[in-house]
């Protein structure tokens, strides 16, 4: 199993020195714009399914996260999903299921970038609901709660906004 860099070079996951990390992020899962489900393209299935096991051979305590979004993701797809209650629920449920099925310890959101105050408020709503669903799933499954991280955007235009609408 190998990682492919932006210039097309390959790097075997087994060559990652996971002993120097506490967390490793595997990027990127995709958001299906029709279903609002988090998906894995067929070319990444093998990489995702063995990522955690492979890096934990050298460091059994390293935590792995599955990231979604990134610079190649369509920001309007994320914005539309975050703006609608049913879309958020579908996304949240599928992301938790996908992370569990591939043995990741958490999820990372890389939304580049919410572009309005409304999108920032919707991001706050998404994160609040996502965290609540992670806690509920943990209580139901008896498993450790998934870690939730996000690469967030800062702009002085939005500095007075909170990431929560409560």
Active site amino acids? 112
In this structure, the chain runs to a length of: 166
Q: What is the DSSP string of 96-125?
A: HHHHHHTT-SEEEEE-----SHHHHHHHHH
Q: What is the rounded (10 degree) CA torsion for 110, 91, 148, 144?
A: -150
Q: What is the DSSP string of 24-66?
A: EEEEEEEE-TTT--EE--GGGHHHHHHHHHHHHTT-TT-EEEE
Percent helix, strand and coil across the chain, each to the nearest 5: 45, 20, 35
């Amino acid at each position: 199993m190998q990682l492919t860099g932006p210039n097309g070079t390959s790097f075997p996951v087994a060559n990652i020195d996971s002993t120097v990390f506490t967390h490793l992020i595997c990027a990127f899962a995709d958001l299906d714009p029709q279903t609002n489900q988090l998906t894995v393209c067929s070319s990444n299935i093998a990489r995702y399914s063995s990522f955690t096991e492979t890096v934990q051979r050298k460091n059994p305590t390293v935590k792995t996260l599955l990231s979604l979004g990134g610079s190649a993701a369509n920001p309007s797809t994320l914005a539309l999903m975050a703006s609608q209650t049913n879309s958020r629920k579908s996304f949240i449920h599928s992301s938790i299921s996908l992370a569990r099925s591939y043995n990741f310890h958490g999820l990372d959101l890389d939304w580049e970038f919410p572009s309005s105050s409304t999108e920032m408020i919707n991001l706050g709503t998404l994160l609040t609901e996502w965290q609540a669903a992670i806690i509920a799933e943990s209580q139901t499954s008896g498993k450790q709660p998934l870690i939730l991280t996000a690469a967030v955007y800062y702009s002085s235009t939005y500095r007075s906004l909170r990431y929560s609408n409560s």
